[in-house]
Amino acid sequence: MGDSTLIINHLAQSRGISLDDGLTPIETARDQALQGMLEERLYWYMVYDRWLGDGWPFMSEKAFGHMSTPFRQIVKAIALRAVRRMLWVQGTARHTPGEIQSMAERDIAALAEIVGDGPYVHGAQMRAIDAVVYAFVYNLTLIKMDTPMIRAARTHANLVAYAERITREYFPEVA
């Protein structure tokens, strides 16, 4: 299953696991809106940042560094062309780099407000939205890459603390 919504629904139906029991309808609706912002906007800004922006040297080495030089150049060119086309069709690449950075910073600031200072999005208890939020926040704060978008996310101390806290708690082998 390649979609977090499908995974969460599958666990709820097949194993009776529901992290969201007790949430109010408005909390559930806000979580859905937050997930949409992350997966349908911020995700694409991050793709742009990593493939067409300042993250490209890092991504290029990670994705293609193991290939022989002549083959690597061909594959990189094909991959970049595909990503550029995908981002154009999706809409992100129709904006200037400055506009993309500004829109990303706005979504990151909104995310920081929603995450707040609690251990999790809804306070003391882990909820399904935390699985989605954590994936994005980790990739914006703890990944070993330096881009303006990542630097902007790291200015939100609560996002860094959120990623570090969940990493220590659930993924101590990488903490």
Distance between CA atoms of 72 and 60, rounded to whole angstroms? Answer: 9
User: Is 30 domain-assigned?
Assistant: no
Does the predicted model carry a pTM greater than 0.85?
yes
Residue type, 64: F
User: Is 4 domain-assigned?
Assistant: no
Give the domain range for residue 166.
35-170
Residue 151 has pLDDT above 70, yes or no: yes
Q: How many CB atoms lie within 10 A of CB 95?
A: 15
Query: What's the total number of domains in the chain?
Result: 1
Distance between CA atoms of 112 and 10, rounded to whole angstroms? Answer: 29
Which pLDDT tens digit goes with each residue over 117-144? 999 999 999 999 999 999 999 999 999 9
Which pLDDT tens digit goes with each residue over 49-66? 999 999 999 999 999 999
User: Is 112 domain-assigned?
Assistant: yes
Task: Work out the burial of residue 109: count CB atoms within 10 Å of its CB; fewer than 13 is exposed, 13-18 middle, 19 or more buried.
Answer: middle
